[in-house]
Structure 1
Amino acid sequence: MRGRGGDAASRTLIESILAGFEAIVALGITFEGVGGDTVVVGMTMRPDLTRDGTIYHGGPVASLIDIAGDMVVAVRAGGGVPTISLRVDYLRPCTGPRLLATARLRRHGRTISVSDASWGDAVKGPAYAHPRRIVLVEEMPLNGVGKVDRARLPEVLGGPGAGPE
C-alpha cells in the first residue's frame, strides 16, 4: 500500500469519520491509505503538541495510534463502532515532523474485534530502527556458516557522539 490507496468505499468511510470529530480535526489526523485489513493514518507534528517544542509522546501519539485501530475495525464493520484500547504504546518519544500509524485487523467477530497498531516517524521509520552510531568496517567477519560473527565486530570506543559518525 503506497500513498492514498484502497477502495473508494473504505477511503470515503474513513475520511468521513475523521472529519466528523472535532478532536481528530484539531489534531490534524489524516487518512493515508487502506488495503485489505490494514489502515494507515498520519499526523503532522506541531510544537504546540509538545512540552518543549521538539519531542512528541503521550496524548497526541496515543490518539493517533488509537484512531488507527478504530479505523481498521470501522472498515470491516462498515461504520464507526465503540472501541476499547487495551494497550497503547505511546511512551517512546518521536522527534520527526510527521508520524504514521499502521493498524492491522487481527480478528473480527460479531461481538469483538482485535487490531494492533504500530507507529513511527514517516521519514525515518520507527525509533528502534535508527542506528545510534555507524562504524565502517573493511570486511564483515563471518562465522563457519556464513553469518555475521558479532563477537568479532570492532568495538565502538568513546560512546555516542565520539568521533565521526
Structure 2
Amino acid sequence: MTFFMLRLGNFLCKVANCQTKHRALDQKIRAQMEDDDDPWLAPDKLYHFLLCFTLTILFASLALHTRYPFIRRHSILIGSVVSLFAGAAKEVADELGFFKSAGASTRDAIADLIGVLIASFLLHTLRFSIRSSGDKEASPDRDILMV
C-alpha cells in the first residue's frame, strides 16, 4: 500500500510539477518503511500463526468428540472461532499492557487469521478425504443390505 502511495505521489507531482514537495514526501514515506517496529517476518508473527493454527486444530478435535451432533457437525467452525477469540484476547491484553509489547498489532491479528484459515482448510480437506474413502468401502455393504 505504501509503495502504491509513493507511485501515486510521483505521478501527481510530475503532473503538478512540484518536485520539492515530492522529495519531502518521498523521504518521509521511506523513513516510515525503514523505521517499521513491527516487521512482517518477525518471530512474533510465526508464534501467532502457530498458536492459532494449533488452537484451531485442538478445539476442532475436541468439538468433534462431543456427544452433541450439532457441535460435531460444526466442529471446524467452532475451533476457528475459539482460536480467533484467543488471538483477539491476546491483542487486547497487549494493548492494555499485560504483556511486554508495543501494544496491539494489526499484523499479529493477520497472522492469527492466516493460521486459522490454513488450519481450517487442512481440516476440511482431511474431513473430505476421509468421507470419500469411507464411501468407497461402504458401497458393497449397502448392496448386500438391500437384498
TM norm structure 1: 0.28
Higher helix share: 2
